[in-house]
Amino acid sequence: MPYRMFEEYNIEVTDDIKDKYKSVITDLGEDVEREGLLKTPERAAKAMQFLTSGYDQDPAAVLKGAMFAEDYKDMVIIKDIELYSLCEHHMLPFFGKAHIAYIPNGHIVGLSKIPRIVDIFARRLQVQERLTHDILECIHNTLQPQGVAVVIEASHMCMMMRGVQKQNSSTTTSGFRGQFEKVETRTEFLKLIASDLH
Ligand SMILES: Nc1nc2c(ncn2[C@@H]2O[C@H](COP(=O)(O)OP(=O)(O)OP(=O)(O)O)[C@@H](O)[C@H]2O)c(=O)[nH]1
Ligand SMILES: [Zn+2]
């Protein structure tokens, strides 16, 4: 199934992660038997499985499932797509927005499929740079448009809650293929995602 709804959890995997979380919580100095924490190992096991559920999903199949022949040759932009991922260094969240554009080459794709592939790649242990390129390459290879552009702006909890503890910094990554490698096309895209015009 290309895009699995996350309602069923594998019981064996959940039990295994649950037991490990019990040890982690105990090692952190807490009492796993106190009322408020009784179900926490299981909740955490399920939460982490959901947050990494992108490994089980095939983003190319999601795009291929909704490609339509259409003779539209101008830029399509989906901006302000919220994303939540986990940094692979600390397994802490990073979150922000993705702005994605493509110029069709005979085929358009169902609009919702773009945020869906963002979620599939975001629900893995990631670095922002690889997340940006995963999305870019998937659209480039699957839809084979005249061009594709991906910009991600994100804040990293590992830099906010711990480490350097910078609350206001954000990181921008970008990738461009095809027509977007030309300055004029790229500039038009960057201007459009910066505007409040929706
Ligand atoms: N390039 C990149 N770095 C990231 C991302 N997420 C977290 N990091 C960084 O990964 C690095 C890991 O560095 P280490 O020195 O091994 O880990 P650390 O001692 O916890 O580092 P500090 O965060 O500086 O305390 C840190 O600089 C993080 O800021 C990401 O998406 N991209
Ligand atoms: Zn981190």
Closest to 127 in 3D by CA, of 177, 171, 78, 161: 171
For 65-194, CATH gives 3.30.1130.10
Ligand at shortest distance from the CA of 155: 1
| CA distance linking residue 65 with residue 47, whole number of Å | 28
Distance in Å from the first CA to the final CA of the chain: 33
In the structure encoding, which two tokens stand for residue 24, read together? 């982690």
Taking the domains of the chain in order of start, what are their residue ranges? 11-51, 65-194
CA of 122 to the centre of ligand 1 (A): 17
In the structure encoding, which two tokens stand for residue 27, read together? 């090692």
Ligand at shortest distance from the CA of 96: 1
Residue 89 sits at φ, ψ, to 5 deg, of: -85, -40
What residues pack around ion ligand 2 (CB closer than 5 A)? 87, 89-90, 158
CA of 159 to the centre of ligand 1 (A): 8
- Which parts of the chain have pLDDT scores under 70? 1-7, 196-198
pTM for the structure as a whole: 0.93
Any residues with CB less than 8 A from the CB of 130 and at least 6 apart, and which?
none
User: Per CATH, is 11-51 categorized as 1.10.286?
Assistant: yes
